[in-house]
Structure 1
Amino acid sequence: MACDKFLTLNNGIKMPALGIGTWQAPENEVEEALNLALEAGYRHIDCAPVYLNEKVIGRVLKSWIDSGKLTREELFITTKLPPPALKAEVVEHVLKNSLADLQLSYVDLYLVHVPFGIMFDAAKSEFVRDENGVVMDLTTDHLAIWKSMEAVLEKGLTKSIGLSNFNKNQIQRILDNCKVPPANLQIEHHVYLQQKDLIEFCKSNGITVTAYAPLGSKGIANINKAAGVDRELPDLMDIEEVKDIASAHDKTPAQVLLRWIIERGISAIPKSTNPGRLRQNLDIFDFSLSEEELDKLNALDSNIRVCDFSFFKGIERHPEFPFTS
């Protein structure tokens, strides 16, 4: 079993439409999960320094490549420029750190993780906070950062560059001032948060879209709780329309939710460390949704955002916070 559907980026590179996310996957879990995922047929792996597991991911990838079980060219690896590193002068250094941890000479896609900068205490290995919440870096300059993204692309440290969690105005600013346009935008996307206008904007500008939290994200509730944020999050797997469609196809609700995203021409990176669910999430290429079923799922759009970054207390005051325009 493998993902046999691909999205073609604006530079001609093909990205598997289904991948595996690694956020909130601790080192003791991600090693086993990634081995299982590669065995199942996953080749698109989404990483980031702030997930604190790139070293273990690198060990797994090296093991598979060194053993000859797969080649580097068969993999599509994404990583990201983290919130504390939104400075043009450190982009190359931070990417090289990720490459060292991943034990790779290049990644296939390098994204600016968020549009807002946050201060970081390297000695304590944590974000800087005061009585108002996280301490923001207000010097964030998207155009300067993007020039550095173009520079690491030119050096071959990444095959493609893109954005994550940026809004339409922020993307347009880059489009108006870039040599190389973004190849991909990664955003929260699921039946309750469809972001149709943003996705249409991206498609009209040749930017592919990747959906994170495509099944919701129960793990965010734990992060919110730790940060003192009390929010009730929806259970996408318990939506009646989704369960009815799943029953009709003898599939799980998760498989229906993922299939809906793939049929819209969007890639998805569900995170799981459960062996059975890893295989189920990949087993979505043997059925299609009817027009009536698609209409029912499209009608569920409720503008419910699971990851609103409220666990970064006060971040909504940053001038580049993306969800205000």
Structure 2
Amino acid sequence: MANQHFDGIKIRHLYKIFGPDAATHIEAVKKGLTKTELIERYGHVLGLKDINLEMPSGEIQVIMGLSGSGKSTLIRHINRLIDPTAGEVLVNGVDVAKMNQSDLREFRRLQTAMVFQKFALLPHRNVLENTVYGLDIQKLPRSKSIDIAMRWLERVGLKGFEKRYPNQLSGGMQQRVGLARALANDAPVLLMDEAYSALDPLIRVDMQTVLLDLQKEIKKTIVFITHDLDEALRLGDQIAILRDGEVIQQGTSQDIVLRPADEYVANFVKEVNRGRVLQVETVMVQPSAGAPSSGLTITAGTTVEDAMRKLASAPDGEVCVVDALGKPIGAVTLRRLAEAMVNAHEVPGFSSPSLAVVR
């Protein structure tokens, strides 16, 4: 199931202008014509402006922003449901924007799968028939299609429900069918456009867990669209924040929380539970000479919140932070972890070397 030899997704200088004479105005936009000026002077809408993103193979790339920020427009360029005005969309090294219609059909059939916010299940088909739909289009033998579909239905927790119809399922169960249908196609790219936004909060968290657990095995290149920061921080290996069609900041969850690029991003992250996002290596320091040791160790990648639980039983002294091989790489104290949960920006010594800010 791993994405062998898949080169990921690279978006380069992507622009989208909506309107009948979009190509006429692209140079003016590149030279600084604003979104407001474009619509006031020419009646055209600037959807995306100079988007540059690299989405590594086998990782979850979250695109987030408020309504109208351009995130859904962006994801629809990856399978060319929307044609770009300018720029490149390279999927596994091939520019989707330059594909002819025959190649594009094959690309959509074999290289990408999509999970929709409104489930998009066929009401006259039962769960199993919905799941095999894409495989039927690929003209796989029916017995093989059913075997594949049943395996994925079991993986998403729907074994025993294969003969039910969509109107007999809860929203969460319908979305599990949509996910199973997408995964059954075994495409290397999984596009998820606000896939969990219509779900109740508890079901939404449950579906996030399902996706994260599956991703440990399937290692798809997933592009996940959301307007919810908590969801973005939980799911994203990388996060890109959009505003008015432009990328304001991109980086890891640690980057976004520790170093918001501007007030817009800062307003997103100010209510975040930092303890569930920040990891101990982000707040650790070099061990102090002669400082007492608690005798405990914490593995890199542990969240601050989980580290505090461990230290609660032995709060005195420094705790050694070790890498996956058990090698010491730093130290933390209970006080430093507590300060990080309150306000990371006020804790001295924070670093975020992977931060990439786009201004």
- Quickly name the TM-score band, shorter chain normalised: 0.3 to 0.5
Q: Which protein is richer in strand relative to its size?
A: 2
> Higher RCO, 1 or 2 (CA under 8 Å, sep at least 6)?
1
TM-score, L = length of structure 1: 0.34
TM-score, L = length of structure 2: 0.32
